Chain A
Amino acid sequence: MSKSTFSRRGVLQTGAVAGAGLAVPTIFTASSAAAFTNEPTGGTVTLGFNVPQTGPYADEGADELRAYQLAVEHLNGGGDAGMMNTFSSKALKGNGILGKKIEFVTGDTQTKSDAARASARSMIEKDGAVMITGGSSSGVAVAVQALCQEAGVIFMAGLTHSNDTTGKDKKANGFRHFFNSYMSGAALAPILASNYGKDRKAYHLTADYNWGYTTEEAVRTSTEAMGWETVAAVKTPLTQTDFSSYIAPVLQSDADVLVLNHYGGNMVNSLTNAVQFGLRDKLVNNKNFEIVVPLYSRLMAKGAGANVKGIFGSTNWHWSLTDEGSKAFVKSFGTKYGFPPSQAAHTCYVQTLLYADAVERAGSFNPCAVAEALEGYSFDGLGNGPTLYRAEDHQCFKDVLVVKGKENPTSEFDLLEIVEVTPAAQVTYDASIFGGELGSCNSGA
């Protein structure tokens, strides 16, 4: 276990400013002497890892935290350097960022916007964090991203899949590596059409909140473009635990595919219920009844157990990928923690590396300089093939994985198998379709 001390305010890290009675007016915590919020002036730089540690996504948060710790270790020159070896950019030297050793603080988002913002603000105001990253829901991501914009620090989103994060709620200081609902739909539709045919009738169950709406919309549009018909779309309350009364009427509707636009506990329960009802053993319109889950995560697959077998869905990344970057990451994560990383861990690790790299290339921690370095940046070797951080909306465009629940898993982590790696070009869309305004970057100065 590493023995290091954490959490200093940037101002005092050199001890240079320590003079009695020196009063400095500041906006947020960027002192007027500094060029931007929380400019690191000492030998260290503080990053804020804001993940759910309590609440239903705590396990996902724990995995994200593992990835962050691993990334910090690698960036500071420890361990086997993981994906730094395969990363196309060679700016990172394993001596921290710009020669400053990386320290970090952690916080609990509780998967609530308020708590997440409180935690992020404490990292910015108290601990002097110059970048905030993490989160495992879009509500939290959008809320924290807006905060970081206001405070003048960079936000590197963790797991957030809603179109809104880099769509209508995009911000100049926020960056997302994870894919989104639109990409899920675009990647899934062709695979569904080729596996299940173009003459299908779909029944959507949709979680009744923003992410559910965008996901339903995305899957609907792209499957309808393939020739599918949408028979019905029913909204289910977020707090629902037993989905039987939503699933039972599906067979009466003449639909032959059920799309579950659910995430987390909702998805685990609705899929479990649907399989229980024996939907997948039925023949409708002389076709096998099928179930689709647009967004998969390994932890959800684990929660749903054997029910995921044979069910299609999409995912940002999976540890069974065989490119050099993924192999390097799986190896160092697996060696350190004893099990393969989840996609949440992957995106968090990559985001940390990308941030560090952008700072190195920009030669400054200034958020505006970092944003400029990230905008329109193309890179490779981080597990998803050639990737572009698009300047217009700060969204990464890269290959999307279509996966299927594995029939014969060899371990509790081996639950999904990759069916198709959908190339980035196929999931790219016009930056303006979701509205929103990026604004201009804020450095807090």
Chain B
Amino acid sequence: MEAIVLQILNGLDKGSAYALIALGLTLIFGTLGVVNFAHGALFMIGAFCAVTLSRILTLSHTIIDDTQKDFLGNPLKVEVPYVHDLFGQTTGDAIIDWAVPLSILFAMPIMILIGIVMERGLIRHFYNRPHADQILVTFGLAIVLQEIIKYYFGANPIPTPAPAAFKGSFDFGAMLGFEPNRIIYPYWRIIYFSFAALVVGGVFAFLQFTTFGMVVRAGMADRETVQLLGIDIDRRFTLMFGLAAAVAGLAGVMYTPINAPNYHMGMDFLVLSFVVVVVGGMGSLPGAVLAGFLLGILESFASMREVLNILPGINQIIIYLVAIVILLTRPRGLMGRKGVMED
């Protein structure tokens, strides 16, 4: 029982990452009809926005400390971040400590800008090309983006910890009446989950309750009619691409304390997030979110010792198995609209 509750928690948390990425993918597919293989790269760039900001915050000048020696026996060069000079040591440290949450503000405009540039500069020319071409060009773009990041940041993961206030974990078990220390969950993961819920809710509300969102939804359903009404749907779609990029980017920023970011994290997530989108139903936003959580939970259950003892290796393939079964039995995915890329 405890194990199951725990794996559901795990699944929700994993699922929130999948859902966030898949949500962005679906926004792009639903609005623009473009299959974007570079979406994982946007997630990765988001994460590196956090790295960049923490690098900026720790920009330092060196002072020579004669009392200490470095590894070659020379006087130690001590790096003093400029924020210490500006705000004093305590405030400075606090700012550095909060680099990841601060990165949200930093990453938002950058990601929207990257999204818009990408749409205007590249994706736009591929609206009328076959899906295969879209996949291929965005795949090429993903390679280029990740190689650029690797060139500047190296191949090694870069630790970007959460603020000290969120270290440690919360004892759910004790709250629910189980033995203490049985069902614990890290604070930061709880925050990640809440953040994902917030973003998903925000995107839905935005599409549901604003005029902008209404026009976009109408455009998703029938682009030509909306254009006939004299609405410049293209500009709105460009903004939607920016929004989707921002969603992916923020998912990346918030993910950095969970796993230290590296240049290939986008590719690691890419295949998976496509499976999520396909399972949820191409172009269906609620489907993407639902499938994200569902696959997260299934993956968590498949990683249980008890399950692995019966089915060794199931944790390696569960996601793909689910995808195959869903695609064969319900081609339009869990919540896909009838007729949208059904065959």
Contacts and interface: CB of A to CB of B under 8 A. Distances in A.
Report if A and B touch in the complex (beta carbons < 8 A): yes
A252 B2 CA distance: 8
A56 B262 CA distance: 8
Interface in A319-336: 319-320, 330-331, 334-335
Contacts of B2: 252
Contacts of B300: 244-245
A245 B299 contact: yes
A234 B308 contact: yes
Given A252-B6, A252-B182, A244 B189 contact: yes
Contacts of A330: 71-72
A235 interface: yes
Contact of A276 (B68, B71, B154, B186): B186
B303 A246 contact: yes
Interface string B258-276: 1110101100110000000
- Dominant SS among interface residues on chain A: helix
B17 A242 contact: yes
Contact of B258 (A57, A236, A273, A303): A273
Contacts of A276: 167, 169, 186, 188-189, 257-258
B71 A265 contact: no
B91 interface: no
Contact of A304 (B186, B260, B264): B260
A32 interface: no
Contacts of B262: 56, 265, 303
A302 B184 CA distance: 27
A61 to B, nearest CB: 8
Contact of A251 (B17, B184, B258, B303): B184
A331 B72 contact: yes
B186 A268 contact: no
B258 A334 contact: no
B103 interface: no
Nearest to A341: B71
Interface string A107-140: 0000000000000000000000000000000000
B299 A241 contact: no
Contact of A340 (B71, B155, B168, B264): B71
A411 B62 CA distance: 13
A277 B169 contact: yes
B218 interface: no
A203 B155 CA distance: 30
Interface of A: 55-60, 208, 232, 234-237, 239, 241-242, 244-246, 248-249, 251-252, 265, 268-269, 272-273, 276-278, 281-282, 284, 299, 302-307, 319-320, 330-331, 334-335, 340, 410-411, 413-414
A307 B13 contact: no
Most chain B beta-carbon neighbours within 10 Å: one of A239, A273, A303: A303
A232 B306 CA distance: 11
Contacts of A237: 315-316
Interface in B282-307: 299-300, 303-305
Nearest to A237: B316
A363 B304 CA distance: 59
Interface stretch (B25-33, B117-125, B157-165): B157-165
B242 interface: no
A272 B157 CA distance: 11
B155 A58 contact: yes
Contacts of B181: 251, 282, 284
Interface footprint category on B: 35 or more
Contact of B71 (A56, A60, A244, A319): A319
B260 A272 contact: yes
Nearest to A267: B157
Interface in B159-216: 159, 161, 167-169, 181-182, 184-186, 188-189
Contacts of A306: 159, 161
A353 to B, nearest CB: 21
A58 B260 contact: no
Contacts, number: 138
A362 B150 CA distance: 43
A322 to B, nearest CB: 11
A414 B259 CA distance: 22
A59 B159 contact: no
Given A239-B268, A304-B159, A306-B159, A278 B316 contact: no
A299 B156 contact: yes
A284 B315 CA distance: 28
A331 B167 CA distance: 38
A335 B73 CA distance: 11
A191 to B, nearest CB: 24
Contacts of A234: 303, 305, 308
A305 B161 contact: yes
B169 A278 contact: yes
Given A242-B14, A413-B71, A281 B268 contact: no
15 contacts: A56-B262, A58-B150, A59-B154, A59-B155, A251-B181, A251-B184, A268-B157, A272-B260, A276-B186, A276-B257, A277-B185, A278-B168, A303-B159, A305-B159, A410-B70
A272 B305 CA distance: 21
B7 interface: yes
Given A276-B186, A277-B184, 17 more contacts: A57-B155, A59-B154, A208-B316, A236-B303, A237-B316, A245-B303, A249-B6, A249-B7, A252-B2, A269-B259, A273-B258, A278-B184, A284-B181, A303-B158, A303-B159, A306-B159, A330-B72
A399 B55 CA distance: 38
Contacts of B299: 245
Contact of B186 (A208, A251, A278): A278
Nearest to B169: A278
B299 to A, nearest CB: 7
Contacts of B182: 251-252
Contacts of A335: 72
Given A58-B154, A245-B10, A276-B188, A334 B268 contact: no
Nearest to A280: B168
Nearest to B11: A245
A368 to B, nearest CB: 38
Nearest to A303: B157
Most chain A beta-carbon neighbours within 10 Å: one of B155, B269, B308, B313: B155
B76 interface: yes
Given A237-B316, A276-B186, A334-B72, A249 B155 contact: no
